[in-house]
Amino acid sequence: MHNILCLNKISPLGTDRLGENYTYAAEIENPEGILVRSAAMHDMELPNSLLAIARAGAGVNNIPVEKCAEAGIVVFNTPGANANAVKELVLAALLLTSRKIVPAIEWAQTLKGTADISKQVEKGKSAFAGPEILGKKLGVIGLGAIGVLVANAAQTLGMQVYGFDPFLSVDAAWNLSSDIVKAASVDEIFEKCDYITIHVPLNDSTRGLIGADALKKVKKGVRVLNFSRGALVDTDAMLAALADGTVAAYATDFPDDALLGVENVIAIPHLGASTPESEDNCAVMAAEELKDYIENGNIRNAVNFPNISMARGADTRICLAHRNIPNTIGSFTQVCGEAGINIENMLSKSRGDWAYTILDVTGDVTEDVREKLAALSPVVRARVIK
Ligand SMILES: NC(=O)c1ccc[n+]([C@@H]2O[C@H](COP(=O)([O-])OP(=O)(O)OC[C@H]3O[C@@H](n4cnc5c(N)ncnc54)[C@H](O)[C@@H]3O)[C@@H](O)[C@H]2O)c1
Ligand SMILES: O=C(O)CC[C@@H](O)C(=O)O
């Protein structure tokens, strides 16, 4: 029986995929896998039993990814599985930041029980007028799974869309409408666009992407949308820009105390991925990634080890997570050779500092052999699957 710890509520469609050999719960002894959404894991003690963490979602900034690699724990995410849900909320936010819909609805509610509501409506509505998005310039920073969908959809709504992504993938380039203008720099987006939406991961190089410097370059009255992570936008700088009218409206999926209650801030409680469809998609993908890794040692959609999959070709599989340094594979074959183990099939892949090798073997892979492999200095995890 494989134990899976669920740190957040995970759609049953996903947990059902694990099958009868799995037990999953919010509290469980010796978990081999963790299923998580946004739960903060940086201060969590990682049990020795833990082989993998699957993030049912895109952002992995809640997980200590490098610490996991050092411990031989593979971290997965579910690329694109919630992208449409986020795209739809971003489209809503384009309109919410334009047409003052939220304060207008709140104001309309205050009319309840008062006299001659239709007259008051006609008199009061001018306070909530706002521009159309048709023909306006939208800058999309980050053209991954979400950014591409947002860019293409906004273009079909009649916006002039500028995109910026210095690491654009080939897949994203294929999916991006040819009408999207390629911005030469992020500054071009800041300088030209009436609306800016960010769809990049939070990391050391993107933290504070929209801060005081960026807000000095933007067009007056720009509308900013942040459905990626709160810390991508410097809250103090944003509050100053809202106060002096540099930013006409800021829509964020990541409210903080300083933003709540501020005029022209639309604060949404992290609802980007909260649709049944995306919760199902993410849970299914995460569960399948975890199951294939636990049962076969295959890696699909990891963020700290290479993707690597091989059909099972012998009774016993040895999986080695290791540092990407010379002569490591030679040391594996030497240990196997000395133990009389024959390697039938082998696959090794690297990703930056880390690598992963699968050996399908015949012969008796004893615990002693596994320990010898685990003791090799580049190896962070040696696993035998029979
Ligand atoms: N609000 C929500 O509920 C919700 C849901 C899903 C994802 N997210 C957030 O959105 C982010 C993006 O999700 P995704 O699925 O599109 O991820 P993705 O990995 O498919 O795309 C991210 C893109 O950002 C690009 N990028 C990285 N650094 C950049 C930089 N400095 N400038 C411009 N582009 C840069 C990458 O090249 C990549 O194309 C996630 O990391 C997550 O934080 C939020
Ligand atoms: O799980 C969620 O609700 C949010 C997920 C989202 O922030 C992500 O990064 O995929």
Q: For the chain, which residues score pLDDT lower than 50?
A: none
Ligand 2 centre to CA of 67 (Å) is 21
What is the distance between the alpha carbons of residues 50 and 35, in angstroms, rounded to a whole number?
11
Amino acid letter, 19: G
Pocket test for ligand 2, best of 11, 35, 36, 38 (most atoms within 8 A of CB): 38
- Whether ligand 1 lies within 6 angstroms of the CB of 139 is answered as no
Q: Which residue has the tokens 């800058």?
A: 139
* Dihedral over alpha carbons 190, 191, 192, 193 (to 10 degrees): 30
What is the distance between the alpha carbons of residues 272 and 173, in angstroms, rounded to a whole number?
23
Domain boundaries, the chain: 1-82+275-304, 83-267, 306-386
- Whether ligand 1 lies within 6 angstroms of the CB of 151 is answered as no
In tens, the pLDDT along 70-105 reads 999 999 999 999 999 999 999 999 999 999 999 999
**Whose alpha carbon is nearest atom 4 of ligand 2?**
273
Q: Which is the closest atom of ligand 2 to the Cα of 58? A: 10
Class at the top of the CATH hierarchy for domain 83-267: alpha beta
How many CA atoms are closer than 13 Å to the CA of 220, on its beta-carbon side? 3
Ligand 1 centre to CA of 229 (Å) is 9
Could you tell me if the ipTM is greater than 0.95? yes
- Whether ligand 1 lies within 6 angstroms of the CB of 229 is answered as yes
pLDDT of res. 315: 87
Question: Whole-model pTM?
Answer: 0.96
Pocket test for ligand 2, best of 82, 200, 279 (most atoms within 8 A of CB): 82
What are the C-alpha distances in Å from 263 to residues 231, 245, 249, 267, 364? 20, 11, 8, 11, 69
Ligand 1 centre to CA of 127 (Å) is 35
Task: Give the closest ligand to the alpha carbon of residue 7.
Answer: 2
CATH H-level superfamily of 306-386: ACT domain (3.30.70.260)
> In this structure, what are the phi and psi dihedrals at residue 180, rounded to the nearest 5 degrees?
-75, 130
What is the distance between the alpha carbons of residues 56 and 285, in angstroms, rounded to a whole number?
7
pLDDT of res. 116: 97
Class at the top of the CATH hierarchy for domain 1-82+275-304: alpha beta
Domains 1-82+275-304 and 306-386 share a fold: no
* Dihedral over alpha carbons 226, 229, 234, 239 (to 10 degrees): 50
Contact yes or no for 164/199 (Cβ under 8 A): no
**Whose alpha carbon is nearest atom 3 of ligand 2?**
273
What is the distance between the alpha carbons of residues 168 and 69, in angstroms, rounded to a whole number?
25
